[in-house]
Amino acid sequence: MSRLVNALQQQEEEYVRRPPLHLRTSKSSTIRHNLLLSPTRTTSGSLRGGPTSRRRTNSLNTGPKKDFKLLPRLEEENAKLPPQESIEFILAQIERQNAKLDEDPKSVCIQSNQLKTHLSTIQNLAVTSDEIVDSTIDWEFWTALTEDFSSVALKLPHLVSAKLRAGIPPKVRGVIWQAMSQSASLNLETVYGQLVAEHSPYERIIQRDLARTFPGIDMFKQEGGHGQQALERVLKAYSLYDSLVGYCQGLAFLVGPLLLNMPEQQAFCVFVRIMETYEMRTMFTLNMEGLQLRLYQFSSLLDQILPDLSDFLNLHEVNVPMYASQWFLTLFAYAFPMELILRIYDIVFAEGAAETIMRVSIAMLKRSQSKLMKLTEFEDILDFLSNKLYDAYNNDPTQVISDAVELSGLITKEKMDHIAETYVSELEQEQKQTEQVLAVRFNFWSKNNTTSSTGSNRSNTRKKKTMSWYSSAPAKKSYDSDRHSISSLREPDVSQLHHQIEDLLLALQQTQRESIELKDDLMQSRLDKMDVEAERDALKMTMASAFHNTKYERECIELRKENTKLKRDNDDLMHQQLMSKDALTALVERMLDMKNRVDALESENRRSQQECQRLEKDKKRLQMIFNSSSSAISSPSSSSSSSIKSYSKR
């Protein structure tokens, strides 16, 4: 327990002694430790571990190790597969991860049974929700992988590599990520609940960056929505959990894919594992030692694998940090689609972050090498490297993973370790040279301490003369002047030359400080550029949305006008229909009236006909009477006249 307490105290003392950015003079002597060893976590003051910290209890490390039984079918499939070149990375990552978890003074208990229960629940939900079970998901394999990833990877390396290369099914991706990273931790979840309730000094910066993170994904696009709130809580909790890292731009892009596949508590646990056991933490520390190492490795691999492209980029002064920094800091999440990011995460959790980034980067550059080398302008080359590398794959992430895995024979763990050792040795050699130069100055000071006060005053006078000599000297000296300065060391007045050396050392220190500040400014400029590009993309999306909204509004206005016109036409038709109906009613009434008149005329005609018939009969009768009267000769004329008169009267 005393070793644990001492380790934590040393970490706190190191944090107190760490100078601010403007006071750093040279690379720290602990570069090798920061690059090659696992850092110790530093949490907020209320949660720092003490003597009561629990040790990690995993089936791989405690008690008698039980033989993990696999299904014969899986072993047969593994035997039928050809050797996979990426197995080396999987085994190396497992070894590195277990070693770092064992060395961690605040290791926690891994709850693999809980993950298995989650996977079983997902399987039951998939069976009950779908009438036909998805046959593409090998539930037996993923269940075994969840139960003990290390044992399955050791016994079925070819099958594990092939399955991961094909992609983890989306339904089980979150659980498998937790199993591969060994992140299922009740302790970390409890710590997360406590950290969320605390205040972080980075809250304002985190809230500012939320809108720039994945603006095209539905979960994170709504301001103040559930996705942005979960992202803010995870980032705030980690800024308190690891105070040496705090919050840096780019961390949100690492957390986003996790929240898309698991709850925020589990996402926080996995994020802690990514930073600590996948060697991502040193990329976000104060000096960014990890990022500098990865860029050095990437540049060396690019020179070895694609020398023509490397020379072409150097010719156009397109340096590696200009385009590759965002790949390493965000795991490609800044400029590539989420479908590809999730597939890259599948490989990262099994084979390591740095190894995956190297292979994916070189693979995409190799496929687009011919197009890149046809460009002639600096801006076009940088824009292609930043935004158009994925265009050559026609939105096929499987081809990207295949190209990356095929480079496993060229980009090996031994080669990367060798490049890392070369980088560290160069830093140590540079530091050694600086220390040798400083030793000369310290020896001179020790000699000055033995001189008398008169000599001290005389040396101060010489120092003033030397400073005036240094200020009036030209900025660049020729080789002959340097040789003359070196030969002058043999002259009797050595004190003055030591003062000149001291002045030169002071100037060297100032130059080193300015160089470090320039590097930091350059990195900050790149991050600011990323922010500006994110804002530009967000504005483009906003403008596009506004344009579409304006277009829809115009269409709606036109549709409203057409609708109003149609209503007006409909009303006119209804009015015409009513008028036609009224006219038809009037016409029917007139027809009925005419029919009545015709009936009346017909009735009158019948009466007239009857009257005519009666008159005809009377006429006939009178004719008969007349005939009868003319034939009656014997009748007296007076009687006939009287009868005729009487008849006429009648």
Q: How far is CA 287 from CA 25, 330, 403, 509, in A?
A: 12, 17, 33, 17
Domain 291-411: assigned CATH number: 1.10.472.80
How far is Cα 234 from Cα 266, in angstroms, rounded to an integer?
10
Q: What's the pTM?
A: 0.60
Angle, alpha carbons 254-260-264 (nearest 5°): 80
Calculate helix-pair angle for 338-351, 157-166, nearest 10 degrees. 170
Write out the DSSP string of 469-486: HHHHS-SS--HHHHHHHH
Side chain identity at residue 424, one-letter code: V
Both structure tokens of 367: 């496929």
Q: Is 203 exposed, middle or buried (0-12, 13-18, 19+ CB in 10 A)?
A: middle
Angle between helices 320-330 and 289-305 (to 10 degrees): 120
CA-to-CA dists, residue 310 to 4, 184, 305, 369, 392, angstroms: 47, 42, 9, 10, 19
**pLDDT tens, 151-206?**
888 888 888 888 888 899 988 899 999 988 888 777 788 889 999 999 999 998 99
Does residue 535 contact residue 212 with C-beta atoms inside 8 Å?
yes
How far does CA 425 lie from the centroid of its chain? 36
Stretches in the chain below the pLDDT threshold 70: 1-70, 85-86, 101, 103-135, 438-499, 502, 548, 633-650
Q: For residue 153, what are the CA distances in angstroms to 20, 92, 209?
A: 44, 11, 38
**Token digits of residue 493:** 């007045």
* CATH no. for 38-61+69-286: 1.10.8.270
Domain extents in the chain: 38-61+69-286, 291-411, 462-475+491-574
- Return d(Cα 501, Cα 591) in angstroms, integer: 131
Nearest to 157 by CA among 60, 70, 91, 65: 91
Rounded Cα–Cα distance for residues 300 and 650 (Å): 153
Instruction: Name the token pair of 560.
Output: 């409203």
368: its two tokens = 């687009």
Note the pLDDT of residue 275: 92
In single-letter form, the type of residue at position 584 comes to L
296 to 324, 325, 333, 338, 417: CA distances (angstroms):
11, 11, 21, 27, 12
Contacts of 120 (CB under 8 A, 6+ apart): 143
Alpha helix locations (H) across 288-337? 289-305, 307-315, 320-330
What are the Cα distances from residue 605, in Å, to 414, 577, 591, 597, 608?
130, 41, 20, 12, 5
Is residue 185 helix, strand or coil? strand
